[in-house]
Structure 1
C-alpha cells in the first residue's frame, strides 16, 4: 500500500469542493485533513489542526484571500507543498503561481486518478502539470529566455544620441537627412556612425540595419 498523504483542499465553490473531497476519499492513500473556502480560512486551519497537511490543493480566485497570495505565505513559512487546481490556464496565472512557490498546476477538468497521481508526483519532488499547462509553461519559459538573451542598444554602450541616430539610419534616412533631423553637421553624423559601427562590432549600414531588426530595437516605434 502506498504511503498515506495528508492533504487540504481550498476552494470557494462549495459544490465542487464537496464533490472533489468525495472523489479523493475513495483513494486509500489520500487523507483529507481539512477543506476550506478561501486562503485565510486555510491558514487558520493550518494553525489549529492537530495533523498538518503535507500538500494543499489550491484554487486561485477566492474571496478574502486568493490562492496565489495564500501559496506565497504557505511556501515561505512552511514545508507544505501546494498544487494549484483551477480553471485558469492563462500565462499570467501560471507564472504568478510558479513565482509564488506552487509545486504543480492542474486544471479542474483533471480526472480524480490524475489528481492523485499528481499529488504523489509532487510529494516525490516532481512538478505535476496538466498537459496543456506544461506546454504553456514551456512556451512561457522560452519567451522569457528569448527576452532575457536579446541585447539592447544600451548593452552595446550606445549613447542616447547614437541610438537616435541609429534609428534614423534603420528607417532609411540619408546622412544629410539625419544631419538635418538632428541639427548636426554631416561630418558629425559620419563620426557618430563610425562610433556606432565600432560599438556594434559591424562594418556597414546593412549590418547595422540587420542587427537592429534582428533584436527588434525600433519595431515598437514604427507605424
Structure 2
C-alpha cells in the first residue's frame, strides 16, 4: 500500500533533503510540496487525498503550528508529523496541543523517519528521543512551563517599556518619536516587538497586559 505524503517546508533545499530521505522507500509517494501553511491549505482544498503531512514550524504567512490546528479540524484523518530544527518547550507544547501526531528533528536518519511514519500511520505517536524527554518534563511539571512562558512574554527592553509608557498616555507615534529622540519608523518597530513579546494585537491589549503584569 502506497502512503501519500505532503511536505510543508519553506526552504527548497531542506524540502528536497526530506524527499531524498523518503526516496529510499517505495511505499512512500510525495503528493505535493507546500511552501507554508496557507499554501498547504490551498492545495488540500483542491485534493485532500493525503495520508500524512511532514510539517515544518517556522514558515511565513502561516506557521506549522497554526497549519496543524487548521488541518486537524478540517481533515482529522490526515496524520501530521512535525519535522523541524526547533526543540524548545513552547513549540513542542503548542504542536501537541494543535494536534500533531509526532515531533521529529530534521537530523533524523531515513530509517528512523520511515519507522516514525509507519508508527504514526498505525496510530502511534513518534518523537525524537530528546523531544520525548522534554515532553515528559512538560507533563510532569506544566506549571513550571507556564511560569517560564509568562516570564519570556514580558521580558521587554528598557526602550520598549519607555515606548509603552508613552503609548499608555495616548500619544501618537510622531510625538513619541520626538519625546524619545527616535524616528517614527523606529517607534513602529519597537511597537511591533512589544506586540510580539506580549502576544497581543493592538495598543489597548498591550497597555492592559503591561499593567496587569506591572510592566508600566
What is the TM-score normalised by the length of structure 2?
0.64
CA distances 1:143-183 after superposition (whole Å, capped 9, x unpaired): 02899xxxxxxxxxxxxxxxxxxxxxxxxxxxxxxxxxxxx
CA distances 1:37-62 after superposition (whole Å, capped 9, x unpaired): 1111111111113x611110000000
Give the SS at the match of 1:72: helix
Of 110-119 and 137-146, the range deviating more from structure 2: 137-146
> Could you tell me which residue of structure 2 aligns to residue 8 of structure 1?
6
Length, aligned pairs only? 145
Q: Does 1:143 align with 2:131?
A: no
> Could you tell me which residue of structure 2 aligns to residue 60 of structure 1?
57
Give the SS at the match of 1:52: coil
Give, in whole Å, the separation in 1 of the partners of 2:81 and 2:115: 12
Give, in whole Å, the separation in 2 of the partners of 1:53 and 1:7: 6
Assess if the C-alpha contact under 8 Å between 1:39 and 1:65 holds in 2.
yes
1:86 pairs, out of 79, 84, 87, with 84
Give, in whole Å, the separation in 2 of the partners of 1:133 and 1:22: 24
Assess if the C-alpha contact under 8 Å between 1:25 and 1:32 holds in 2.
no
Assess if the C-alpha contact under 8 Å between 1:94 and 1:105 holds in 2.
yes
> Could you tell me which residue of structure 1 aligns to residue 70 of structure 2?
73
**How many angstroms does 1:111 deviate by?**
0.6
What is the TM-score normalised by the length of structure 1?
0.62
**How many angstroms does 1:20 deviate by?**
1.3
The structure 1 segments of at least 4 consecutive aligned residues displaced by more than 3 Å after TM superposition are none
Root mean square deviation of aligned Cα: 1.7
Assess if the C-alpha contact under 8 Å between 1:6 and 1:55 holds in 2.
yes
